[in-house]
Structure 1
């Protein structure tokens, strides 16, 4: 039986990593499950991640950035995600194609259709079974993160991050995602995710 593919999406500072870790810790002794991230997740994908996020690579073009994300994802899917799903494991992944649509499609202005096209090829058409989209409003935690400095994407400027937030707000209106109010407490956000997973995974939580 094929496993369940669960992704956590949202802008920087929305709590994806915290909640993904909490979900994994809660389920790891009950079901066969792994947790991974994007960009990254495999040796090659992590090396591509380093190139994408290195602040010294300021001359990187937007198209190059989008293609590198897709390349990292292609390796991740073929080497780790798909084999795990085929073995019946539940896969938790921080970010997937939706992030590329928000950050490169909208944030960089490359267009949603273009990003979907290159990622359709990169993933072989693989789609998550469950997408948690964290709605953060104005996201003050992200603003603090930007002010403190960060990787090449995080320091791309407020206008870029505003476009990304607007993209997620637009995407949240589509009915194929589970929109989670990430302005609530960590426990409330965690419980919202677990209630959905309880039904989908058919486990006692």
Structure 2
């Protein structure tokens, strides 16, 4: 694979949408052809799964069902979009990837790491992003920002304790992997974007 896969991660309200635009500009200015994706989603089947995952069902959605749906959507995107683009020499910029499941389902839902490892081995093999930017925000601040955007979806309604566990897992995973760069998303937006540009420029060089 001659292309590179870069991922933006973060809690709700971390500012992923604007961060993606900054990274997109950096990559395209460097002369690389770019494909943008999101998870869950990115293919017709994966987008349908996204709607199922986010819908506020009138029944209890088990943590196992949520987890399996996430990986079903992810492997569809990986095999149908991400890998083909990378093999063509294009770069891929992802709005979330596997780190989200490790943090949200592993940390937030408290699913054992051993189960997550087995699912990753089945669906992703040894595939991982070349670079991940994790936008770190206090969950209370992030949720306040998310509420300002409108009605929260099922996962966004999971509560402060859930997102506190999710953030802790993100930070733990980032401390163990030098391909994950933590960006302080509680700074002024201009400073956040400057930090993102610096991280991506360093990677590109």
**TM-score of the two chains, using structure 2 as the length reference:** 0.89
Match of 2:4 in 1: 4
Unaligned 5+ segments in structure 2 are: none
Number of matched pairs? 202
1:193 aligns with 2:196: yes
Within 1, Cα distance between the matches of 2:89 and 2:42?
18
Within 2, Cα distance between the matches of 1:57 and 1:171?
34
SS in 2 for 1:172: helix
1:84-142, Cα deviation, whole Å (9 max, x unpaired): 11111111101111100111011111122311320232123211000111121345132
Within 2, Cα distance between the matches of 1:193 and 1:111?
32
SS in 1 for 2:8: strand
Match of 2:106 in 1: 105
Contact 2:9 / 2:99 at 8 angstroms: preserved in 1? Answer: yes
Match of 1:168 in 2: 170
- Superposition RMSD on alpha carbons, in Å? 1.9
Q: CA deviation at 1:18?
A: 1.4
Distance 1:141 1:199, change over 3 A: closer
Contact 2:5 / 2:86 at 8 angstroms: preserved in 1? Answer: yes
Stretch deviating more after TM superposition (5-14 or 187-196): 187-196
Distance 1:57 1:132, change over 3 A: farther
**TM-score of the two chains, using structure 1 as the length reference:** 0.89
SS in 1 for 2:105: helix
Match of 1:123 in 2: 124
Contact 2:7 / 2:97 at 8 angstroms: preserved in 1? Answer: yes
SS in 2 for 1:8: strand
Q: Within 5 A, what are the aligned runs for 1:1-205?
A: 2-28=2-28, 30-56=31-57, 58-145=59-146, 149-176=151-178, 177-202=180-205
Within 2, Cα distance between the matches of 1:15 and 1:58?
31
Unaligned 5+ segments in structure 1 are: none
Q: CA deviation at 1:26?
A: 4.5
SS in 1 for 2:175: coil
Within 1, Cα distance between the matches of 2:120 and 2:37?
18
